[in-house]
Amino acid sequence: MSWIGIKQRNPQRKFVAMKLRTAMDDLLNQDIKGLDRIDKIYHKVDGCMSYVNMQKCIQCGMLHFNKSNYCESKLCPICAYLRARKYLSVLVPRFRNMLERGYKINFLTLTIKDTAVLKYGLDIVKKAWRYMTNRDPFSKYIFKNMFIGGIYAIEIKKGKNSKLWHPHVHLLVVKDHFSKDFDVIKGLWEMACQKVANTTEKISSVDIRGVHDKNGKLTKNINSEDTITSAVVECVKYVTKFSFDDYSSMDLLELCNCLYNNRLFSTFGCMRNSEDEDLDEDYKDVVEELVCTKCGSRDFEDEVTSIDKAMNMNVVDFGKRHYVSKKEQIAGLTAIMEVMLRREYE
């Protein structure tokens, strides 16, 4: 687990909590329903990492970050970062394995027109996805013949020009053969959107996206370890980043209510069930006995403090060759992966 990553995101967590509290105060005197939802999320984010458990080296006194309590809110920057690390540790080796076996990987974006009501737009996106991949036999057959599996993530943001809600889907898909899919997937997505929205107007579009490699260069060829990592980061980041500066109090209320009980990230086909694990499960398995990174001692004692106090202490992570989860060890999380993740979440 990266103490550096958590430390960098603690100010963001405080900012999000402040924005939620401000929104709650602004709306408190108005006759508006649903304030209990934003109140619960505020208290969860504000109380995230209320304590920090550290292991203090008895020999040299060096503090090593061990664990904490997490709120697991979709709006919490710290939990979003940890969730992204977990997704990376599980998904990257799976996509890497598919690539080594000769499969192709593509990154797609499915969008709809901007909408004034977030719930309406989110319902259209989710229902159209289900219609295209499951409910309509024709669409389901075509889609499953094009893509044998993948991951999908729903991004929620405001349109740059319209300032309306713009929910859309990002897909990282696996193919067992080369084919030109743009026109086909465009037709399927348009038909699904029109069906669930009960309209004949064009309300959707499809985009084949590129990803940035470790050098920041845009490429559409996902054919190496670093581009796979970057592609997974591209998908993961969309469900864990929200532009709070652009949201009014009513926007935050609407966002909180729409996020409740709504899954924004999932898998299908050969990648199914990759993400169905506890948030910090991949940090529980200690491969070797803990070793101090400064003096090499194996003798520690517990020290518990608040997150604010820990921010001012000299705290480090355990050496990765001694303290690393089995999943991260199997995945071979490299420095490149961590740099990419931090760059995307800055």
Q: Which amino acid would we find at residue 345?
A: Y
Q: Model confidence over 224-280: pLDDT tens digits? A: 666 777 788 778 776 656 677 778 899 999 999 998 888 888 889 888 865 444 333
Band (1; pLDDT cuts 50, 70, 90): low
Please state which of the ranges 48-62, 97-111, 225-239, 303-317 shows the lowest mean pLDDT. Answer: 225-239
Model confidence over 280-296: pLDDT tens digits? 344 343 334 577 878 87
DSSP secondary structure letters along 286-332 = --S----TTT----EEEEEE-HHHHHTS-EEPPPTTTS--HHHHHHT
Is the pLDDT reported for residue 117 higher than 90?
yes
Distance CA 120, CA 80 (A): 25
Q: Which residue has the tokens 């060829």?
A: 221
| pTM for the whole structure | 0.80
Looking at residue 8, its pLDDT comes to 82
Yes or no: say if 68 and 51 are a contact pair by the CB < 8 Å rule. Answer: yes
Rounded mean pLDDT, 75-92: 84
Least confident piece of the model among 10-24, 112-126, 216-230, 315-329: 315-329
CA-closest candidate to residue 84, choices 210, 232, 256: 232
Least confident range of 134-138, 173-177, 217-221, 307-311: 217-221
Task: Express each pLDDT in 44-65 by its tens digit.
Answer: 999 998 888 888 888 888 888 8
Contacts for 27-36 with beta carbons within 8 Å, 24 or more apart?
27/249, 27/250, 27/253, 32/253, 34/253, 34/256, 34/257, 35/253
- Helix H or strand E encompassing 267: strand 265-269
Candidate from 66-75, 221-230, 266-275, 315-324 with smallest mean pLDDT: 315-324
pLDDT confidence tier of residue 133, bands split at 50, 70 and 90: very high
Instruction: Give the gyration radius of the chain's Cα atoms.
Output: 22
Which DSSP string do the residues of 108-165 spell out, in sequence order?
A: EEEEE--BS-HHHHHHHHHHHHHIIIIISHHHHHHHHHH-SEEEEEEE--B-TTT-SB
